[in-house]
């Protein structure tokens, strides 16, 4: 068996030496336990937060601990009456080929309903993040304008497509021509702008002639600065992620923070951070709606797969910089 552990806490951007690949024996399940084999490992931006030990909503990964992560796994041995050999389960097995579980927190996946990898993608945590953040906080109305960055990614792609289903205008922001073309032509957003080109603010103003009613915040940084002046009165801003800042080594308040607060007041803006687990009660609604939209082709999704557990560190470092084009997955073992 193999596992990847956190070798050192990154300073700024994570680097290869912050991870260590280890060989280990395949563990033996005890009474009430199951042995899992990882098929798919999901890589997600939140893992950058787990590598640091600053204050957060979750515990950090300890040094020499297995990197945390959601997986789609197969039960290959079971001493637990709730699970049989051959069951496919959603697990938090982390960056390793094999894991032991007492069954708590495992959810069975029915491979007949959808490809099993979607359980960590469009029908899993990122899809649920898009659904709840947009509908429960953003509350887009027909005819309103919704803007989302990282628009070709796991969360952003679903945000814009759900906005369209609700009758809103969807404008994406993504890195590079290919991603922007995909977001417009394949996902059906009304427009998509490249944040790596110049004059994002002016282009955004042109693409949003009636201003912005919902800004689904995934990135922060220069994108946020371009969006903020265009927010309409009573605009809503679900704050989902700030990926442009995850490698920052210190927090600096911008000089325009007071001007921003003045706008929050005068425009009566709603800015609300959320963690997807806040909306656990909405999981049934999410699965019902999202499965239907995926079946009907109203929500499309794209996977970006690297092969083998060894590829995880490089793929994760790439994810933080936009090297992924779609939901980042690692194929750890055969389906
Ligand atoms: P993505 O698949 O969207 O991948 C991350 C993308 O972020 C990159 O591909 C890149 O896209 C974009 N990006 C990176 N740096 C920058 C930058 N400086 N400026 C603009 N864009 C940048 O990841 P996810 O869909 O999984 O996650 C999207 C966001 O949602 C993240 O911030 C994540 O932390 C957050 N999230 C929050 C959750 C919550 O519960 N609150 C749950 C899940 C995700 P591009 O090439 O287009 O720039």
Q: Find the CATH number of the domain harbouring 212.
A: 3.40.50.720
pLDDT category at 253 given cuts 50, 70, 90 is confident
Same domain as 148, residue 243: yes
Same domain as 66, residue 157: no
Ligand 1 pocket test target in 150, 239, 283, 330 with most atoms within 8 Å of CB: 150
Average pLDDT over residues 3-32: 98
CA 297 to ligand 1 centroid distance, Å:
23
Share of the chain above pLDDT 90, in %: 97
CA 218 to ligand 1 centroid distance, Å:
6
Same domain as 10, residue 86: yes
Q: What are the start-end ranges of the H helices in 23-148?
A: 46-50, 125-132
Which atom of ligand 1 lies closest to the CA of 325?
9
pLDDT category at 198 given cuts 50, 70, 90 is very high
Reported as a single tens digit per residue, the pLDDT across 64-81 is 999 999 999 999 999 999
**Main-chain phi, psi angles of 3, to 5 degrees:** -150, 155
- Whether 254 has a pLDDT exceeding 90, the answer reads no
CA 226 to ligand 1 centroid distance, Å:
17
Which atom of ligand 1 lies closest to the CA of 276?
40
Same domain as 263, residue 323: no
Same domain as 192, residue 51: no
Same domain as 136, residue 19: no
- State whether residue 122 is helix, strand or coil: coil
Residue keyed to tokens 């990197």 = 67
CB 176 within 8 A of CB 196: yes
Closest among 207, 204, 252 to 228, alpha carbons compared: 204
Q: Which CATH number characterizes residue 31's domain?
A: 3.90.180.10
Reported as a single tens digit per residue, the pLDDT across 90-114 is 999 999 999 999 999 999 999 999 9
User: What integer pLDDT is reported at residue 151 of this predicted model?
Assistant: 98
CB 74 within 8 A of CB 116: no
Same domain as 153, residue 264: yes
Q: Which residues pair with 41 in a beta bridge?
A: 71, 330
Query: What distance in Å separates the CA atoms of residue 160 and residue 146, rounded to the nearest whole number?
Result: 7
Domain count, the chain: 2
CA 220 to ligand 1 centroid distance, Å:
10
Burial 12-26 (b: 16+ CB within 10 A, else e): eebeeebbeeeeeee
| Domain residue limits at 136 | 125-280+287-293
Same domain as 159, residue 12: no
Residue keyed to tokens 């903020």 = 228
CA 296 and chain centroid, separation: 23
pLDDT category at 204 given cuts 50, 70, 90 is very high
Q: Ligand 1 site: residues with CB under 6 angstroms?
A: 44-46, 126, 129, 149-150, 152-156, 174-175, 179, 195, 218-219, 221, 223, 240-241, 243-244, 274-276, 319, 322, 324, 327-328
- Whether 229 has a pLDDT exceeding 90, the answer reads yes
User: What integer pLDDT is reported at residue 255 of this predicted model?
Assistant: 86
- Whether 181 has a pLDDT exceeding 90, the answer reads yes
User: What integer pLDDT is reported at residue 54 of this predicted model?
Assistant: 87
Query: What distance in Å separates the CA atoms of residue 206 and residue 230, rounded to the nearest whole number?
Result: 11
User: What integer pLDDT is reported at residue 187 of this predicted model?
Assistant: 98
Query: What distance in Å separates the CA atoms of residue 38 and residue 309, rounded to the nearest whole number?
Result: 9
User: What integer pLDDT is reported at residue 43 of this predicted model?
Assistant: 98
CB 1 within 8 A of CB 17: no
Mean of the per-residue pLDDT values for the chain? 97
**Residue 312 CA neighbour count, 13 Å, CB half:** 33
Strands 107-108 and 145-149, bridge-based pairing: unpaired
Same domain as 15, residue 133: no
- Please name the residues in contact with 220: beta carbons below 8 A apart, sequence gap of 6 or more: 242, 243, 244, 245
Which atom of ligand 1 lies closest to the CA of 275?
40
User: What integer pLDDT is reported at residue 251 of this predicted model?
Assistant: 82
User: What integer pLDDT is reported at residue 186 of this predicted model?
Assistant: 98
């Amino acid at each position: 068996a193999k596992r990847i552990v956190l070798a050192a806490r990154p300073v700024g951007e994570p680097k290869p030496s912050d991870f260590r690949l280890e060989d280990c024996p395949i563990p033996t399940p005890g009474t009430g336990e199951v042995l899992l084999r990882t098929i798919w490992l999901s890589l997600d931006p939140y893992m950058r937060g787990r590598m640091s030990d600053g204050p957060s909503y979750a515990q950090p990964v300890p040094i020499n601990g297995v990197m945390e992560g959601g997986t789609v796994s197969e039960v290959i041995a079971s001493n637990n009456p709730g699970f049989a050999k051959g069951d496919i389960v959603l697990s938090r097995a982390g960056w390793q080929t094999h894991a032991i579980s007492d069954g708590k927190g495992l959810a069975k996946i029915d491979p007949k309903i959808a490809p099993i990898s979607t359980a960590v993608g469009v029908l899993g945590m990122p899809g649920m993040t898009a659904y709840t953040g947009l509908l429960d906080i953003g509350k887009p109305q027909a005819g309103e304008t919704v803007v989302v960055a990282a628009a070709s990614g796991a969360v952003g792609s679903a945000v814009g497509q759900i906005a369209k289903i609700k009758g809103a205008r969807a404008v994406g922001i993504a890195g590079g021509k290919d991603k922007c073309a995909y977001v417009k032509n394949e996902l059906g957003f009304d427009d998509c702008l490249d944040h790596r080109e110049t004059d994002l603010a002016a282009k955004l103003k042109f693409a949003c002639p009636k201003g912005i009613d919902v800004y689904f915040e995934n990135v922060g940084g220069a994108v946020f600065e371009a969006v903020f002046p265009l927010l309409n009165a009573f605009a809503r801003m679900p704050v989902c992620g700030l990926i442009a800042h995850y490698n920052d080594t210190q927090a600096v308040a911008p000089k325009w923070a007071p001007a921003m607060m003045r706008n929050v007041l005068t425009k009566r803006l709603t800015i609300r951070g959320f963690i997807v687990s806040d909306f656990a009660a909405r999981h049934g609604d999410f699965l019902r709606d999202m499965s239907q939209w995926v079946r009907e082709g109203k929500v499309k999704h794209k996977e970006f797969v690297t092969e083998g557990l060894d590829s995880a560190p490089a793929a994760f470092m790439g994810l933080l910089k936009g090297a992924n084009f779609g939901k980042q997955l690692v194929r750890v073992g055969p389906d």
